[in-house]
Structure 1
Amino acid sequence: MTQKNTTIAPRTNGLVDLFARSISYLRLSLTDRCNLRCLYCVTEEESDGVLTKLTHNELLSYEELLRVVRVAVAMGITKVRLTGGEPLVRRNVMRFIRELTGIEGLDDVRITTNGVLLERYGRELYEAGVTKVNISLDSLKPERVAAITGVNCFDAVWRGIETVLTLGFAPVKLNMVAMRHINDDEIVDFARLSRRLPVQVRFIEFMPIGESSRWNADTYISTDEIMARIAALGELIPLEKGRNDGPARVFRLGADSVGTLGFISPLSHHFCNRCNRLRLTSAGALRSCLLHDDEVDLRTVLRNGSGDEAVREALLAAIRNKPEGHHLEERLRRSGGDCHGRMSRIGG
């Protein structure tokens, strides 16, 4: 079908939601597919069987993703993060990334990955202009990584970390989801990494996301407890946040540490009042809050012959729908409910 007029308004001074938050950050989930089966991502039923994947037609094409980003950048989005699933498993991903980083006005493209393919793709990413990376790593013990992810992949991930550090990626962030009785005995070991490596080790509270989530109150461990354990190693020196920094509160473990520590506390110290992001799922749904299931169907807009003005209106609708806060604590107390979207489709 022939598209209607695709002109879009000139870039504005920015996007502001109903609660005066500036929206400048779009997270793109490229695929729901992954080469791991992490216990906090797949359901208990899926971990024992075949994962239900989106069909090729259900995924947004690279052309559709690029169209959305061009419209979003013209509206004031300046930062894009690529997520999955595992974004690097999608076919021809580097061709897409090179086109993405060439979009005028897009200042900052980052990637979140499980690190398994970083040794292979690190140099191409760096040369394409993607030099900021978040790597998921929930244990420093190879056998435990295999238990958490379902794959014996620690060595591959560590080689990926070494690759990006050698290439000069910065920042390099290591994301640890802290889970009591699973990996919380390694919190201090992770913190020590920041003393000798130029990385930001980030401790993320375990969130109740996904159907049949393995989250429960016994597994959850708060940031306050995590910080108390680390404080036994030395002083936690708070650092000022940069303009494009995310929700983490960042510290240095003593003045001599090469790296830093970040703490992300969506439950105990939620950061809703400064959230600046939208998410586009791999199935083409716009979400304005990770922990709310309200979505705007952008895939239909992209495929019904509408012009870019309709894409713009869908983005504005998602911003208008952005809640003041996730209120997850109250929802958990009332019904034990959680966010029912699957993390691999929403985007990590």
Structure 2
Amino acid sequence: MNMNVEDQLSRPLRDLRISIMDKCNFRCTYCMPKEIFGKDYVFMKEEELLTFGEIVQTANQFAALGVNKLRITGGEPLLRKNVEELIQELNQIEGIDDIALTTNGVMLPKLAKSLKEAGLKRVNVSLDALDTTVFQEMSGRATKADVVLRGIDAALEAGLGVKVNMVVKRGLNEQEVVPMAKYCKDRGVMLRFIEFMDVGQTNGWGYSKVVSKKELHTLVSEIGPLQPVDHYYFGEVASRYQYEGSDVQVGFISSVTETFCGTCTRARLSADGKVFTCLFSESGTDLKEDLRAGQSDAFIKEKIKTIWENRSDRYSELRTAESSKNRKKIEMSYIGG
């Protein structure tokens, strides 16, 4: 029987974000730069990654503690071979009723159909610009947004739900906000704008580079009036709006200007088996050693329960320009966003 656990601020454990791969075929500057402190980015060795069996074992124990939503992330999770097999196994866990996957969309034309058949419900596709020059600057690759748009089309054709995520960084891609909103509205998919966050140590974050939810809302309203929509569930991160006279929605994830720490129900499992209780964590708690030492499910479940019950994270609520500089945060590509 599944139990409910709460942290120090009475927040329940409901969501688990599972990074299965730290590698990516893009180098988005806010997530995974080409190099860190002058050195090439070093990826994990295959033996460092949790196996699918270890991921499923861990997810089972999270589900027993109240988790009902899983999000598969990376890096780029579709670079991991046979990811459909993992989706299929996770889909059989009692209590899990929603499995989504975050991707840059490049491999969806090849994999969307099999992912849907394996039980994946939806994909969150990262796309920060339609203009080729801006897209290349954001993605760190000499390619065009068309490769991502083809992935979105393939996901829709396969019957997957689609949300598009756009990180907006002042001085780089704010001029793409309206074109992106028009594209998504015409395509009938939800676009979620994400305020540029100070994740990791290398993305050059500063308050001056944040385009606020208020500014974004004003820009998108050029397309048409927006009506607020009630949250679907406790802990939903996006403030959602609907275009007047349409059923298409747009969302705003404003972890800088309108924080939502008070309703955060998310834990994160890194690709090498560490549990993190906040996107802005400085460190995580290792489970891989326990899993490979043959510790029982009861042991793993109790360890996760203790981690969550001791949780008191609310970094975004306490963030200052100074604290952002002084805190040693892990990179987004490692924790999975």
Q: Map of 1:54-69 to 2, 5 A cutoff? A: 54-69=44-59
- The letter of the residue matching 1:90 is R
Structure 2 CA distance for aligned equivalents of residues 327 and 259 of structure 1: 29
Give the stretch that moved more between structures: 161-170 or 47-56: 47-56
Structure 1 CA distance for aligned equivalents of residues 279 and 152 of structure 2: 27
Which residue does the alignment assign to 2:155? 164
SS of residue paired to 1:39: coil
Contact kept, 8 Å, 1:197 with 1:259, in 2: the verdict is no
Q: Map of 1:191-340 to 2, 5 A cutoff? A: 191-243=181-233, 246-256=236-246, 258-327=247-316, 330-334=319-323, 336-338=325-327, 340=329
The question of 1:154 aligning with 2:145 is answered yes
Structure 1 CA distance for aligned equivalents of residues 331 and 235 of structure 2: 26
Which residue does the alignment assign to 2:101? 111
Query: Per the alignment, do residues 264 and 223 of structure 1 end up closer, same or farther by CA in structure 2, a change over 3 Å counting?
Result: same
Query: Per the alignment, do residues 44 and 30 of structure 1 end up closer, same or farther by CA in structure 2, a change over 3 Å counting?
Result: closer
SS of residue paired to 1:22: coil
Query: Per the alignment, do residues 268 and 166 of structure 1 end up closer, same or farther by CA in structure 2, a change over 3 Å counting?
Result: same
- The letter of the residue matching 1:166 is E
Structure 2 CA distance for aligned equivalents of residues 207 and 77 of structure 1: 26
Q: CA deviation at 1:155?
A: 1.9
Give the stretch that moved more between structures: 101-110 or 269-278: 101-110
Q: CA deviation at 1:102?
A: 2.1
CA-based RMSD: 2.0
Listed one character per residue, the Cα deviations across residues 56-110 of structure 1 (whole Å, up to 9, x for unaligned) are 2221111110100111112221111000000000122122222221223321111
Q: CA deviation at 1:295?
A: 1.7
- The letter of the residue matching 2:278 is C
Structure 1 CA distance for aligned equivalents of residues 328 and 178 of structure 2: 30
Query: Per the alignment, do residues 297 and 331 of structure 1 end up closer, same or farther by CA in structure 2, a change over 3 Å counting?
Result: farther
Contact kept, 8 Å, 2:28 with 2:138, in 1: the verdict is yes
Q: CA deviation at 1:194?
A: 4.0
Q: Map of 1:166-185 to 2, 5 A cutoff? A: 166-170=157-161, 172-185=162-175
Listed one character per residue, the Cα deviations across residues 21-46 of structure 1 (whole Å, up to 9, x for unaligned) are 22111000001011111111124634
Structure 1 CA distance for aligned equivalents of residues 234 and 263 of structure 2: 12
Q: CA deviation at 1:339?
A: 5.2
The question of 1:21 aligning with 2:11 is answered yes
Query: Per the alignment, do residues 176 and 314 of structure 1 end up closer, same or farther by CA in structure 2, a change over 3 Å counting?
Result: same
Paired residue total: 336
Which residue does the alignment assign to 1:52? 42
Q: CA deviation at 1:205?
A: 0.5
Contact kept, 8 Å, 1:328 with 1:338, in 2: the verdict is no
The question of 1:141 aligning with 2:145 is answered no
Q: CA deviation at 1:228?
A: 2.0
Any gaps of 5 or more consecutive residues in structure 1? 1-9
Structure 2 CA distance for aligned equivalents of residues 260 and 245 of structure 1: 18
Contact kept, 8 Å, 2:256 with 2:316, in 1: the verdict is no
Q: CA deviation at 1:218?
A: 2.8
Q: CA deviation at 1:270?
A: 0.6
Which residue does the alignment assign to 1:346? 335
Structure 1 CA distance for aligned equivalents of residues 324 and 315 of structure 2: 15
